[in-house]
Structure 1
Amino acid sequence: MDTRVDGVAFKSGYSEVNGLKMYYELYGEGKPLVLIHGGGSTIQTTFGRVIPMLAKHRQLIAVELQAHGRTSDRVGEVSFEQDADDVAALLRNLNILKADIFGFSNGGTTALQIAIRHPELVDKLVAASALCKRNGVPSQFWDFMKQARLENMPEQLKEGYKKVALDTNGLQVMHDKDAKRMVDFKDIPDEKIKSIKASTLIIIGDKDVITPEHAIEMHRLIANSELAIIPGGHGEYIGEVTTLKPNYQEIDFIAIPMIESFLDKKE
């Protein structure tokens, strides 16, 4: 289906992926860049403000993961490894042999798993506010996740889901599966992180959920990586919907020129 959002044309569709009907959107032309949203989010709630900027110079493949947005669910828990396999299968269905990958938050952890599990598909990698180890966030984060309730989910994310989901009753299921995934989160072993050969840009905000120490540890483990710590909170640097300020402008999304420069850099 052809549509326009904020003056940007895109095509949307569904692909049969590992038992899911996986929703995706295609924007622009050029080298492929895959966008992977954060936990509890949709394409638009994570990337809606910056898609018009990124689509000027490349083809974007924006996805919605299991139980999120317009993508169906399957029996069983969600995992970063399965999400990575789902994105890889979608790319193969779309005949995309190699792409740059940009994931935010939980999507950043999924992006790292794609680089670990499907290295042949990854050219460059942008891991934004991604978590690899439990000590990468303050200890109180885990207590918060154990107490997670749908009523405490940010209203912007609940509204974003209800705006696009085919069945809004899935909101509770998505919330509970995402919360359980985080409660059960296990460290990605050092050797797997070190196995990432893709040129990688690691980004966090200086007031992020992810600690600067964790970002530095990731930077040291991934040999071919760069690190950027940007002023702002979790996703503020890309206009993630819960961080938006009144009268925001494109210039506020300060990570985008940095990401584009990284992606355009010749190896």
Structure 2
Amino acid sequence: MIGRVFLGDGVGAAFTGRPGGVSAAPYGALNLGGAVGDEPDAVRANRARAAAALGVRADRTVWMRQVHGADVAVVTAAEAASGAGEVDAIVTTEPGVVLAVLVADCAPVLLADPVAGVAGAAHSGRPGTAAGVVPALVARMREHGANPARVRAAIGPAACGGCYEVPAAMRDEVAAAVPGSGATTRRGTPGLDIRAGIAGQLAAAGVTAVTVDPRCTIETPDLFSYRRDGRTGRFAGFVWLAGEGENDPEDTPR
């Protein structure tokens, strides 16, 4: 259910998958998206399960109303109850605040500077990548003391360039804004490699410690994919600074 990634000592980070939840089809099973038509009680139960598996508190997890833009919000525990609003990236300097990003083909991007005590998360699909949501996130983290040379980044599962087919004009437009994002699908048609574009954006911003999850959402049944399934759930990326938001490991369900 949970795949952890290393973003430095004192930082927790992970990507969820599809198995392990309570949602019924077509959202089965660990749907964490609250705006896709699933039963609210099922989403709440799934979010509680994910928090327990991570060893964090669900009531200190901050969710966004993602709108495919490039706005960034700085959040604290106070935003956990109401969410971060209509943004596509969030930053925190508060230990124990868990940042969450929902996806089902777009790229979830997690960042942290453990020395400065700054963490960030971004929802970077085609529009957001072209708008520069990840560079905007890095810039906002710098305002709070992060040094790009120390920042570690993890780009999660997303639609791969071999599957993500788009019209030629769209590919050319995005590739002009985001070098390295243009691709050709396995069918020989125009495509986009969003993760390659994001990696280039991070490098241009001075972030070179980047890991990329190679899984394609469209090709991986254990991940949600809107392009593959249409009506479906959402998996999530989580990042947090270790602190009071974490449960004692002995209390974490195995």
TM-score, normalization by structure 1: 0.35
Where relative contact order (Cα < 8 A, 6+ residues apart) is larger, the structure is 2
More helix by share: 1
TM-score, normalization by structure 2: 0.36
